[in-house]
Amino acid sequence: MAEINQERATFAGGCFWCMVEPFDERPGIYSVISGYTGGTTENPTYEEVCSNTTGHVEAVQITYDPDIFSYERLLEIFWKQIDPTDAGGQFNDRGESYQTAIFYHNEKQKELAEKSKRELEQSGRFDNPIVTPILPASTFYKAEEKHQDYYKKQSFHYKLYKKGSGRQDFIERHWRKPVDKEKIRKKLSPIQYHVTQENGTEAPFQNEYYNHEEEGIYVDIVSGEPLFSSKDKYDAGCGWPSFTKPIDKHQVQEKTDTSHGMIRTEIRSTEADSHLGHVFEDGPTDRGGLRYCMNSAAMKFVPREKMEELGYGYLSYLFE
């Protein structure tokens, strides 16, 4: 059995409830723990940290395999969750315990963090200076159990909080790419446009990938974001390409679809918001029981041997 390569990353991004979900359950990420770091008090409680008297900030510590999910990708996710120009807290949460920071565990992490911060500063995405500090990691104290995986345990309250605090709107305002329908229309074929932009469905057994067996990945036809792997593809007999799971659950979104007199779960791509298909609970039971029934017209296939050349080399672990 191959040895698992594990490293740690520590990020402070304001309320730690909102910093777990973006990293959790991604390929190569083994755990995301909520806790406290950067202060002087040993084993602080939530109340002590929130009183802003311990020097600690709320943070998450991530255990990950850098060969599968790189530190650079962790940094990309981190910057997209916070307001890096706010030195006094995050959104509605004020005070030093809610300040942002990157805590590096080695010199390589320090160099990569500083590089990513420079690139963000030079991007012009924010009008004000980037104030998030890059600091050496210190003792990390795990928070109380009720704060672990809060987005799962208290999902309704979590969603209300993320929206009500202003974080969700801030993220969408600064990071969601504007949709240019005419540009997309010119780029796609009529059936590709109908499927992805008008929630259409292509004909079964008369589409490009329903019986395609080559090794590689399937990416969003609009944005190129990776969606599914041939390793998870199977013949469901329905006439559309079917998969047991996405490469990364964060790259697809589920929405309730009540069209055509049915209640179904629609699958859309996260970045481009393309309609991809639907997910059903009649998949192989030994592989999770789900069937992601996708439209070929919503995807482009990238052969395994071209993944590196086309910028998907970081997903080569899927076939090793």
Which residues are catalytic, by number?
A: 15, 293
- Token pair belonging to 61: 């510590």
CA dist 178 and 77 (Å) reads 19
Q: How far apart are CA 7 and CA 61, in angstroms?
A: 10
Spell 152-184 as b/e; 16+ CB within 10 A means b: eeeeeebeebbeebebeebbeeeeeeeeeeeeb
CA dihedral 145, 148, 153, 158 (to 10 degrees): 130
The helix/strand/coil state of 170 is helix
Q: How far apart are the first and last CA of the chain?
A: 13
Using only C-alpha atoms, the chain has a radius of gyration, in whole angstroms, of 21
Structure tokens at 240: 């559309």
Quote the Cα angle for 229-234-240, to 5°: 95
